[in-house]
């Protein structure tokens, strides 16, 4: 896209896009000054409604946002402008915000517009329009119009990368690919990067991480990114589960394996967040770790009942090889906290079906030992349309993970409290860090949307983490 702000549209073939809140009568002025009125029920600006008309030789698309729209609904409405109405677009579009348009609505509208050119057709012979040459004229009466547009574009770019990472098939998105992507991104945005693998990972005590990928021909990669800002007053640590495909290991999955390319949704979230934080030059210090593995089955795959070591020094009894995500996160958390000593720690993972059973596909399960941190995450999620809800991590649940042969077991083997006991397992590897939160995003990172016929990546967590950080500045 070629973005132009508050410039005269030179092309005679453009689509004019105007958003409206819900009201009885909608009116706007054509480019020749003629007033155009549209009455209900033809179009009243109801949420997620659209109306196309020709007014004074102009093609106009009216976008309805509803009475009191939230960030996510605005973003989705504008994403549909390019994604659903591409047949109306020729050479250019004019996005026109009416006078008095709520300033808080501008960012999600712009982000949504920039997301509209994302499609899943990576390997199709004939691909949909990617709008590389599309002229986007934005009419915006705001003193910081250029900065607003630039910020929205950077947020959208990070989200599209998170979409893509989740949506790529597992023969393309391997641990090595994820590591290469992270290193390339680090170079582009001046981050420090490190990838630990093989004997080096073993020497550093990352045994639980290595076990999770032992059954795969694709070598595990322990990815570390460091972003530092000279004006930073706090240091945030992020860990994202990076299981690029999950067969379940020897406890092989019996259903839903087709969607297990999405088991690195946590990695996509923290990597996307790292990109946008670096791109926007947010004044914070950030360390991001992604333990990336493929959980496969071969002669070397780790075994149920096996005892494995960990970076934290705790021995782990393997009850279920399909609980590999918490193993790699355990080493990720321990290494992050021991090596970098961040002030706050957040991990994100598509961890349990239990979280989906509890919340469906509406919000993430939130666990934290810090009530202030938990509240700040919840508020950030509300503001950005990425909801979270807290669940307890009482000590009573820790007993469920007791092992008679090792320090802890990776699964309690019961059809109850699955998300909670997984969180308690992770907590054991946080070295009693006083400000830690775990987000189980199993139900929200990969979902049915209006933008694909199959489940696809949502980039859940990118906007949440950005909002979380900025709310604390």
Structure tokens at 209: 């991480």
In DSSP terms, 446 is beta-bridged to: 457
For 171, 212, 331, the CA distances from 218, given in Å and listed in that order, are 10, 12, 19
Looking only at the bridges linking them, the beta strands covering 316-317 and 307-308 are antiparallel
Spatial distance between the Cα atoms of 150 and 119, rounded to a whole number of angstroms: 22
Residue 140, pLDDT score? 86
CATH (residue range 2-141): 3.40.220.10
Q: Are 240 and 347 a contacting pair, CB within 8 Å?
A: yes
Q: What is the pLDDT along the chain (473 residues), one digit of tens a residue?
A: 888 898 776 556 689 999 999 987 898 888 777 889 998 889 999 999 999 998 878 889 999 999 999 999 999 999 999 999 988 888 889 999 987 788 999 999 999 999 999 999 999 998 887 888 888 999 888 889 999 999 999 999 999 999 999 999 999 999 999 999 999 999 999 999 999 999 999 999 999 999 999 999 999 999 999 999 999 999 999 999 999 999 999 999 998 899 999 999 999 999 999 999 999 999 999 999 999 999 999 999 999 999 999 999 999 999 999 999 999 999 999 999 999 999 999 999 999 999 999 999 999 999 999 999 999 999 999 999 999 999 999 999 999 999 999 999 999 999 999 999 999 999 999 999 999 999 999 999 999 999 999 999 999 999 999 999 999 99
| Number of neighbours of residue 135 by Cβ within 10 angstroms | 18
**Edge-to-edge strand order for the sheet containing 49-55?**
2-5, 135-139, 92-96, 14-20, 58-64, 49-55
Spatial distance between the Cα atoms of 257 and 358, rounded to a whole number of angstroms: 21
Name which of 324, 217, 314 is nearest 263 in CA terms. 324
Residue 430, pLDDT score? 98
Question: Is 241 considered catalytic here?
Answer: no
Residue 34, pLDDT score? 84
Name which of 298, 250, 251, 261 is nearest 174 in CA terms. 261
- Which position has the token pair 């026109």? 96
With residue 460 as reference, give the H or E element that holds it.
none
Residue 303, pLDDT score? 98
Strands (E), 180-241: 192-196, 221-227, 235-240
Phi and psi of 282, rounded to 5°?
-65, 135
Name which of 274, 273, 284, 290 is nearest 239 in CA terms. 290
Per annotation, catalytic residue among 128, 253, 382, 455:
253
| Number of neighbours of residue 67 by Cβ within 10 angstroms | 10
CATH (residue range 156-471): 3.40.630.10
Which pTM value belongs to this model? 0.96
Per domain, the residue ranges of the chain are 2-141, 156-471
Residue 113, pLDDT score? 95
Measured in whole angstroms, how far is the alpha carbon of residue 272 from the centre of its chain? 7
**Residues 6+ away with beta carbon under 8 Å from 159:** 111, 115, 272, 459, 462, 463
Name which of 282, 260, 277 is nearest 446 in CA terms. 260
Question: What are the DSSP calls for 289-324, one per residue?
Answer: EEEEEEE--STT---TT-EE--TTS--EE-S-TT--
Question: Is 326 considered catalytic here?
Answer: yes
With residue 137 as reference, give the H or E element that holds it.
strand 135-139
Residue 158, pLDDT score? 98
Instruction: Report DSSP state, residue 141.
Output: -
Question: For residue 382, with 0-12 CB atoms within 10 Å meaning exposed, 13-18 middle and 19 or more buried, which class applies?
Answer: middle
Looking only at the bridges linking them, the beta strands covering 344-349 and 235-240 are parallel
Per annotation, catalytic residue among 80, 221, 326, 467:
326
Name which of 351, 349, 291 is nearest 320 in CA terms. 351
Do domains 2-141 and 156-471 share one topology? The answer is: no
């Amino acid at each position: 896209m070629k973005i132009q702000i508050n410039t005269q549209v030179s092309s005679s073939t453009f689509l004019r896009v105007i958003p409206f809140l819900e009201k009885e009568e909608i009116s706007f002025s054509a480019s020749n000054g003629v007033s155009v009125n549209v009455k209900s029920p033809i179009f009243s600006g109801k949420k997620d409604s659209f109306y196309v008309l020709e007014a004074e030789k102009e093609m106009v698309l009216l976008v309805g946002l509803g009475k009191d729209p939230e960030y996510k609904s605005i973003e989705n409405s504008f994403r549909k402008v390019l994604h659903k109405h591409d047949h109306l677009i020729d050479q250019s579009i004019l996005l026109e915000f009416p006078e008095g348009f709520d300033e808080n609505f501008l960012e999600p509208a712009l982000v949504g517009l920039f997301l509209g050119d994302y499609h899943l057709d990576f390997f199709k012979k004939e691909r949909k329009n990617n709008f590389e040459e599309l002229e986007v004229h934005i009419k915006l009466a705001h003193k910081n119009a250029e900065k607003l547009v630039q910020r929205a574009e950077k947020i959208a770019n990070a989200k599209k990368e998170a979409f893509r990472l989740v949506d790529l098939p597992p023969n393309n998105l391997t641990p090595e690919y994820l590591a290469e992507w992270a290193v390339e991104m680090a170079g582009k945005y001046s981050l420090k990067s490190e990838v630990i693998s093989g004997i080096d990972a073993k020497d550093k005590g990352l045994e639980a991480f290595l076990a999770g990928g032992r059954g795969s021909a694709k070598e595990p990669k322990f990815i570390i990114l460091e972003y530092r800002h000279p004006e930073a007053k706090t240091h945030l640590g992020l860990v994202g589960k990076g299981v690029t495909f999950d067969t379940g290991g020897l406890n092989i999955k019996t259903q839903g394996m087709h969607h297990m390319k999405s088991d690195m949704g946590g990695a996509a979230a923290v990597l996307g967040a790292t990109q946008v934080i670096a791109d926007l030059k947010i004044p914070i210090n950030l360390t991001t770790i992604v333990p990336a593995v493929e959980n496969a089955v071969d002669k070397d795959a780790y075994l149920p009942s096996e005892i494995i070591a960990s970076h934290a020094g705790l021995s782990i009894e393997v009850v279920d090889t399909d609980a590999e995500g918490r193993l790699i996160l355990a080493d990720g958390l321990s290494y992050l906290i021991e090596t970098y000593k961040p002030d706050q720690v957040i991990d994100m993972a598509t961890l349990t079906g239990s979280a989906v059973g509890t919340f469906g596909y509406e919000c993430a399960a939130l666990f934290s030992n810090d009530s202030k941190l938990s509240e700040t995450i919840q508020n950030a999620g509300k503001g950005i349309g990425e909801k979270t809800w807290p669940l307890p991590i009482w000590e009573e649940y820790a007993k469920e993970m007791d092992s008679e042969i090792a320090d802890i077991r990776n699964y309690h083997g019961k059809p109850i409290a699955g998300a909670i006991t997984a969180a308690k397992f992770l907590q054991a590897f946080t070295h009693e860090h006083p400000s830690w939160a775990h987000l189980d995003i199993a139900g929200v990172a990969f979902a049915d949307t209006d933008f694909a016929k199959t489940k696809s990546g949502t980039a859940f967590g990118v906007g949440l983490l950005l909002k979380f950080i900025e709310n604390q500045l």
